[in-house]
Amino acid sequence: MILKETYTLANGIAIPKLALGTWMIEGESATNAVKKAIELGYRHIDTAQDYGNEAEVADGVRASSLEREQLFVTSKLAARHKTYDEATAAIEESLEKMGFEYLDLMIIHSPQPWDHFGSEDRFPEGNQEAWRALEDAYKAGKLKAIGLSNFQERDIDTILETCSVAPMVHQILAHVTNVPGALIDYSRNKGMLVEAYSPVGHGELFKNEAIIKMAEKYNVSVPQLCIRYDLQLGLLPLPKTANPDHMANNAAVDFEIAQADMDALSALEPIKDYGEASQFPVFQ
């Protein structure tokens, strides 16, 4: 059962292979979603400072019957924090807001602040300063693991140039029709586990006839096929939902996609339009 399986990070920490994403799930809905996911067997919950739901996610954790140590909770350092002092204060704010002594993982949400996303400025010094804050929190035991999100190869190199603790995780957009193979390989070669947000392409993959037919072949749903695809690539999917039925369906992925079908899925035409999600600089 996938909910009981883990990967091992470079520092020896076990991380559950499937996580509940909580982007755009707010207030009491976030609390209830987390509580229900844990009841269903999820042990990995993903949130972020910029989601505005850290406190509610933490409430869901506390409302469960499990001890904090039995769960893996990730948050993300807001993309705007590009000084050591700002990043340090933001890490402390997350811990205080959530009422936790530690987070299992914190990652820099983006190498660029959202209002500069796609610009020429990669904020190298700012990312190095933010990383130094994560390193210090890691060394203090406040973060059990640290990593990156939405970085490109040159951004990763910037961190590696000055770090004393190398990144352990890289969370990126990766799904059927959009698998950045070179970036995944580069991240892995630098010792990072790669996590895949938006494994169903923000719902756009529901419209793909080839994917629908493939899912029917395996007698599974489109999300199940897409999540399984990411898992077979060695990625860690983070499907987001507040619907308990969808949570259960997303976790029922104990089947195997044949290699020929994996190849066929990998050869599909990339998504050109993500619909409403395209208004965001990145989608999670």
Q: So which residues are the catalytic ones? A: 51
Q: How many Cβ atoms sit within 10 Å of the Cβ of residue 220?
A: 19
Cα 95 from Cα 66, distance rounded (Å)? 19
Angle between helices 54-63 and 84-98 (to 10 degrees): 40
Tokens of 217: 């072949």
Residue 116 is assigned to a ligand binding site: no
- CA–chain centroid gap for 98, Å, is 18
Non-local CB neighbours of 248 within 8 Å, separated by 6+ positions: 40
SS3 123: coil
SS3 179: coil
- The two beta strands, 193-197 and 236-238, are parallel
Tokens of 173: 């957009």
SS3 195: strand
Q: Are 175 and 199 in contact (CB under 8 A)?
A: yes
Q: How many Cβ atoms sit within 10 Å of the Cβ of residue 168?
A: 23
Non-local CB neighbours of 265 within 8 Å, separated by 6+ positions: 176, 210, 211, 214, 225, 229, 257
Tokens of 9: 């990070």
In the annotated binding site for substrate, the residues are 109
